[in-house]
Structure 1
Amino acid sequence: MSEKRFTPGRVTWRELMTLDSQRAKAFYGELFGWTFVPFDLGPDGGNYEGIKLGEKLIGGIWEIRKGESPTSIFMSYVSVKDVDAAAKRAQENGGQVAHGPKDIPNMGRFAVLMDSDNAVIIAYQDLNGDPEPAMPKAGEFCWETLSTNDVERAKAFYSKVFGWQARSFQGGMSVFGVDDTPEGAVADIEKAQNMPPQWFTYVVVDRIETARDKAAKLGAQVLVPLVEVPNIGRIAMIVDPTGAPLGLFDHGGKA
């Protein structure tokens, strides 16, 4: 048996909490070629399924029960050494624990955290260890971005909770990461957008225009048609037919 490997501070799992799992599965199956497999998370697990790309398990999808959430949303899981300690650090540094800490039978332990501005992220320890880091391929999750009204406060919070260091990046953004491995970015919200602070996750696509237009034909709303990030790639933002925001990323428009 291989030794379990843990990578504290890395984003290791993404989960779609959706108001309509059947509609979401039809949309993402067509857009990215995702398939879905049942997960048994015990009596409290609800209607949970794993997301697969080919034979690779890349995330989960959970149909929200009535009253649990007003909207569909992607959630990002960050690996931690001790979930309870991370939850305590969040509370000590101006955040809240929205749910947990709690065990997932035969899988791990998690806590849903809210940062100083109520953006939601999950602290997680997997009983089976973390997946081996690899360059994401088309159809796989690749990146997170935090939109916030207070960048400096966000930097301080996530430094304390996850041990992330922040460094300056182009365009007025900062990049979060552990050592030299970036895990996400943080950027100011323009108050005119009337957007609450929140985390966004991104999926790699072969070409932004093709994926964006296909998403629109399948019922998505296009929030941001195209943004060029010099020397990095290109992004677009959509909202899926169930209301969940998602970013698309390509490496510069090459097919």
Structure 2
Amino acid sequence: MASDFVWFELVTPDAKAAEAFYTAVVGWKTEASSGPAGPYTIFKAGDFHVGGMLEMKDVPAGWLGYLGVDDVDAFAKKVEAAGGAIRRPPEDIPNVGRFAVVADPQGAMFVLFRGETDDAPPRPAPMSPGSLGWSELHAADWEKLFDFYAPLFGWVKHDTVPMGEMGVYQTFGPQAAAIGGMFSNHAPAPAPYWLYYFGVEGVDSAIERVKANGGQVLMGPVEVPGGAWVVNAQDPQGGLFALLGMRG
């Protein structure tokens, strides 16, 4: 079974401020909910539930991707056996599903998730405003991590894009289509991490919204194959994210 990311979650020390930032910048609407750790905010693109947010005062802000699996407990053991680590053991979210927080052998964290039903949650069209369109692994050594993820999640290599002195950018995903890319980032933020891309209508106006709402643009806009443009940014609490859209 090839796995894809099925949910994205922002852990932040200030949920109220982060909600104001992301609704202004990405255009999401929000819905109040609750989870095992208390109040939980759901991000919506139109009528689609695309991600969530959890306030935790004592951890750095950051986004986590949920990878859909058929058995969370078995996969957590596989992650450990392959050199990764279990950061939060498998646990149920009542009426939602089961999850575990894990890390790959180089320390990048992600979540294993199995929903209550077999139906994948409906998703907005790729590249549409508010969609979560690309998942990128900033690794210490991407080739070693590809060898970790591929057998676990059924991923194969798609395009290999040369990046000059930075080596190559390797796209990956199930056989059907690439869902993300990975490369060896020789200046990683404190450690290797996953970066998630959110669709916006126009990249230039989104850059202005990032700045106007207290965020920082770290890189870009840079054109990517297919004609879209990307920007790497940081929210006011320190969470890293990227935006994907057309110019103008």
TM-score of the aligned structures, taking structure 2 as reference length: 0.91
1:221 maps to 2:216: yes
Mapping of 1:101-180 within 5 angstroms? Answer: 101-128=90-117, 129-132=119-122, 135-136=125-126, 137-171=128-162, 172-180=168-176
Q: Specify the code of the residue in structure 2 equivalent to 1:165.
A: V
- The structural deviation recorded for 1:179 is 1.4
Aligned residue pair count? 241
Cα RMSD after superposing both structures = 1.7
% of aligned pairs identical? 30
Partner of 1:61: 53
Displacement of 1:134 after TM fit?
5.1
**Segment of structure 1 superposing worse, 17-26 or 222-231:** 222-231
What is the distance in 2 between the residues matched to 1:50 and 1:149?
32
For residues 208-247 of structure 1, the C-alpha deviation after alignment (integer angstroms, 9 at most, x for no partner) is: 1110121111100111132111335211011011111110
Contact preservation (8 Å) 2:48, 2:122: no
How has the CA–CA distance of structure 1 residues 134 and 221 changed in structure 2, closer, same or farther, with 3 Å as cutoff? closer
1:195 Cα offset (Å): 4.5
Equivalent residue, structure 2, for 1:4: none
Which residues of structure 1 form unaligned runs of 5+? 1-6
1:113 is displaced (CA, Å) by 1.2
Structure 1 CA distance for aligned equivalents of residues 7 and 45 of structure 2 = 14
Deviation of 1:190 after TM superposition, in Å, equals 1.9
Deviates more, 1:225-234 or 1:19-28: 225-234
After TM superposition, give the deviation of residue 156 of structure 1 in Å. 0.8
Partner in structure 1 of residue 33 of structure 2: 39
The partner residue of 1:196 within 181, 191, 209 is 191
SS at match of 1:51: strand
Q: Which residue of 2 aligns with 1:245?
A: 240
Q: Residues of 1 paired with 2:99 and 2:203: CA distance? A: 33
Question: Could you list the per-position Cα deviations for residues 144-169 of structure 1 after superposition, in whole angstroms to 9, with x for gaps in the alignment?
Answer: 10000111111011013222122342
- Could you report, residue by residue, the CA deviation over 1:36-72 in whole angstroms, capped at 9, with x for unpaired residues? 212232xx321211111232211111111x33x2x11
Deviations 1:2-49 (A, max 9, x none): xxxxx85011111111110000111112122222212232xx321211
Structure 2 CA distance, aligned partners of 1:233 and 1:39? 34
SS at match of 1:215: helix
Tell me the residue number matched to 1:79: 68
- Asked if 1:210 is matched to 2:205, the reply is yes
Question: 1: CA distance between counterparts of 2:78 and 2:172?
Answer: 18
Change (3 A) 1:33 1:233: closer
Paired residue secondary structure (1:57): strand
Greater fraction strand: 2
Q: Is the 8 A contact 2:2 2:155 kept in 1?
A: no
**1:156/1:232 CA distance change after superposition, 3 Å:** farther
Distance 1:19 1:114 in 2: 21
Report the alpha carbon displacement of residue 135 of structure 1 after superposing the two structures with TM.
2.4
Q: Taking structure 1 as reference, are residues 101 and 169 closer, same or farther at Cα in structure 2, changes over 3 Å only?
A: same
3-state DSSP of counterpart to 2:143: helix
